[in-house]
Amino acid sequence: MNVRALVNTMEAAPPALAVEGVSHAYGPRKALDDVSFTVGPATFTVLLGLNGAGKSTLFSIITHLYASKVGAVRIFGHDVARDSGAALAELGVVFQPRTLDPDLTVEQNMFYMAALHGVGRGQARPRLRELIARVGLADRLHERIRYLSGGQSRRVEIARSLLHGPRLILLDEPTAGLDVKARADILKLVRGLVAEDHVGVLWTTHLVDEVKPDDSVVILHKGRVLASDQASAVIEACGVRSIGDAFAKLTHGAPDEETA
């Protein structure tokens, strides 16, 4: 049918991430309603939505914490629900809550992640050193996470998500709780990964100032996709000047008491 035809045409070069008609409900409450969008390889895509828009549910489904009853999620063509091993091997994740063990060192945390991907220490060591150097923390390798700042441990998490060489990484509000400088550093680092290393990125946020005109943007509101295009195209279609205005205009019809 519709979706299948779409999949067939994309088989030659599957997108990094394809969310296809995903709906999900917790009892009577619909958290996601027919959500579809794609993230191209080596592109920076921003998933913009307020708290309660359904971002967490979507994240849970993409990372295979639980499966959606309706629709499918594919990572480089691998169905997350049916072929989760192959799909997850292509995926790196930075969750919003801190997930590093505070009492373990940077290197120990990295070893643990490598092991989860079936990579032993000897094989992981040179690569993790390179990645930690890449995020600018080479001298902190044997430091416990407890003694790092919020921005530094975020950078470790980003390095960790790249450890198994995924071609797609998801970052769930990675700048939450960081100061202006650390926020800018993280953003620059991740944009660099897209430009130089051709990693596809899905970046969720509620902060419109993290969007650049040539980024892809997916606007999620109350479980529905209101727009999915290049940021500049969304702005133009709305007839406004900025993505912030576009966001306000699109979500205006359904005012939400929840604040960002």
Partner 1 sequence: MSASLTIEGKSERRFGLGGYFVCLKGIVWRESLRFLHQRERFVSALVRPLVWLFIFAAGFRQTLGVSIIPPYETYVLYEVYITPGLMAMIQLFNGMQSSLSMVYDREMGSMRMLLTSPAPRWFLLTSKLLAGVAVSILQVYAYLVVAYFWDIEPPTFWGYLTVLPALLLSGLMLGALGMVLSSLIRQLENFAGVMNFVIFPMFFASSALYPLWRVQEGSPWLATVCWFNPFTHAVELIRFAFYGKVEPLSLAVVVGCTIAFLAAAILAYDPARGMLMRRGG
Chain residues that interact with partner 1, rule: CB under 8 A: 26, 31, 56-57, 60, 63-67, 76, 78, 81, 84-91, 93, 95-99, 101, 103-104, 108, 111-120, 130-131, 134, 162, 164-167, 193, 196-199
Residue number with CB closer to partner 1 (140 or 164): 164
Q: How far is the CB of 210 from partner 1 (least distance, A)?
A: 21
One-character DSSP codes across 195-257: HHH--EEEEEES-GGG--TTSEEEEEETTEEEEEEEHHHHHHHHT-SSHHHHHHHHHHTS--S
Bridge partners of 168? 91, 200
Residue number with CB closer to partner 1 (101 or 214): 101
Residue showing tokens 């292509």: 90
Find the Cα–Cα–Cα–Cα dihedral 182, 184, 186, 188, rounded to 10°.
-150
Task: Report d(CA 112, CA 127) in Å as an integer.
Answer: 14
Q: How far is the CB of 252 from partner 1 (least distance, A)?
A: 27
Residue number with CB closer to partner 1 (99 or 149): 99
Answer for the pair 169, 199: CB distance below 8 angstroms, yes or no.
Answer: yes
Structure tokens, 115: 């092991």
- Residue 175's closest CA among 164, 191, 163? 191
Task: Report d(CA 192, CA 114) in Å as an integer.
Answer: 23
Q: How far is the CB of 97 from partner 1 (least distance, A)?
A: 4
Task: Report d(CA 1, CA 18) in Å as an integer.
Answer: 16
Residue number with CB closer to partner 1 (95 or 233): 95
Residue number with CB closer to partner 1 (198 or 209): 198
Residue number with CB closer to partner 1 (208 or 222): 222
Q: How far is the CB of 86 from partner 1 (least distance, A)?
A: 6
Q: How far is the CB of 195 from partner 1 (least distance, A)?
A: 11
Phi-psi region at 64: left, alpha or beta (left = phi > 0; alpha = psi -120 to 50):
left
CB half-sphere exposure, 24, CA atoms < 13 A: 23
Residue number with CB closer to partner 1 (117 or 249): 117
Q: Measured on CA atoms in the order 26, 31, 32, 38, is the torsion positive or negative?
A: negative
Q: How far is the CB of 98 from partner 1 (least distance, A)?
A: 7
